[in-house]
């Protein structure tokens, strides 16, 4: 078992068991059984160079040979990328990733890509789908992501000065313009008891969840293009609070009452297209045993097979599938 990505000490992924189910060989005809490229966005306190993330990328290629894996990075150095998980404007970061992926010669010419988001990387990937979605995402999987925000800021270890400094600013003025423009976790903070302040000042989450009076129809249209959206919640998660946010549920932190997604207005009026996906059997509510981002190679291998396996697609000219609305 290893821990991703809200810990600064990632453990090395165990070697994949040799007992993985066999898969058919890739076909070499014009219509090929091909693994789509995989995009990974890591979580708070992590960076693109971690051994744990490299192990995940290797596992993805081992389970589905030929998979091209792109780990998103927001700086050229690991330390800079880690800092960007705490400090930065998320709207600008998503725009940077949109440009990063669209300029990649492999990703930009693929008929579609798959996407894997760890913790906060999950809601950031969803924002990518809603706001630009080129290259288009076919299947999106998120682990312990805070789709409905957090109502409690993560505590930091005594020795983690970057985290502790960010935490102090978060607690001092969540809804100030400075904090909403510079402190990453504040931009997906959402306390049901502070909804008025949230709707007025949230610089990121209130927008990508289409919670304001004026809805962005593009967000709904783009999310509905997903072939499958798998949302995984950790059963014993005490890091991402509330854990049910991974399923878009709302939790009253005083009473503990949980309002599931299907009972919320966001779903009933289908602000994001989640209801439409659900009715088509494309929205998955899944649980993972254990604490936040404690994952095993066996579990990941199973998910890679189920969500990121090779697909049967004709090889069209660049961008043709997207124009045809296939993905």
| Strand spans (E) along 59-157 | 69-71, 113-118, 137-143
Tokens (6 digits) for 313: 């697609």
Q: Is 42 a catalytic residue?
A: no
- The single residue of 42, 70, 147, 292 carrying the catalytic annotation is 292
Backbone angles phi, psi at 80, to 5 degrees: -70, -40
C-alpha span between 147 and 247 (Å, rounded): 7
* 3-state percent helix, strand, coil for the chain, nearest multiple of 5: 40, 15, 45
Q: Is 119 a catalytic residue?
A: yes
Backbone angles phi, psi at 20, to 5 degrees: -60, 145
CA 272 vs CA 206, 215, 226, 253, 304: distances in Å? 12, 9, 12, 25, 26
Q: Are 164 and 139 in contact (CB under 8 A)?
A: no
Q: Is 191 a catalytic residue?
A: no
C-alpha span between 140 and 240 (Å, rounded): 20
Place of tokens 């949109």: 98
Tokens (6 digits) for 99: 């440009």
Cβ-proximal residues to 68 (8 Å cutoff; 6+ apart), any chain: 37, 38, 106, 107, 110
- The single residue of 46, 81, 119, 207 carrying the catalytic annotation is 119
Residue 113, classified by CB atoms within 10 Å of its CB into exposed (0-12), middle (13-18) or buried (19+), is: buried
- The single residue of 46, 81, 207, 237 carrying the catalytic annotation is 237
Q: Which residues are catalytic?
A: 119, 237, 292
């Amino acid at each position: 078992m290893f821990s991703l990505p809200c810990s600064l000490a990632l453990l090395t992924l165990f070697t994949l068991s040799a007992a993985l189910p066999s898969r058919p060989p890739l076909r070499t005809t014009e219509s090929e059984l091909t693994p789509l490229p995989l995009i990974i966005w890591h979580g708070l306190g992590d960076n693109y160079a971690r051994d744990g993330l490299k192990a995940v990328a290797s596992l993805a290629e081992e389970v589905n040979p030929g998979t091209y894996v792109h780990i998103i990075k927001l700086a050229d150095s690991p330390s800079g990328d880690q800092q960007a998980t705490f400090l930065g404007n998320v709207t600008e970061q998503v725009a940077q990733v949109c440009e990063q992926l669209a300029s990649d010669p492999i990703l930009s010419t693929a008929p579609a890509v798959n996407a894997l988001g760890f913790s906060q990387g999950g809601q950031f990937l969803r924002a990518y789908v809603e706001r630009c979605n080129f290259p288009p995402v076919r299947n999106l999987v998120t682990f312990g992501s805070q789709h409905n925000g957090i109502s409690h800021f993560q505590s930091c270890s005594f020795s983690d000065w970057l985290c502790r400094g960010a935490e102090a600013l978060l607690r001092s003025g969540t809804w100030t313009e400075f904090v909403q423009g510079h402190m990453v976790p504040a931009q997906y903070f959402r306390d049901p008891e502070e909804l008025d302040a949230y709707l007025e000042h949230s610089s990121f989450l209130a927008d990508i969840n289409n919670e304001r009076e004026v809805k962005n129809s593009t967000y709904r249209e783009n999310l509905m293009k997903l072939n499958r959206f798998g949302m995984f919640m950790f059963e014993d998660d005490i890091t991402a609070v509330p854990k049910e946010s991974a399923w878009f549920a709302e939790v009253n932190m005083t009473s503990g009452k949980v309002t599931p997604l299907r009972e919320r207005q966001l779903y009933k009026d289908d602000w994001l297209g989640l209801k439409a996906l659900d009715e088509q059997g494309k929205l998955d509510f899944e649980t993972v045993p254990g604490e936040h981002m404690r994952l095993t190679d066996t579990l990941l291998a199973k998910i890679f097979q189920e969500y990121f396996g090779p697909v049967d697609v004709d090889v069209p000219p660049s961008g043709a599938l997207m124009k045809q609305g296939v993905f």
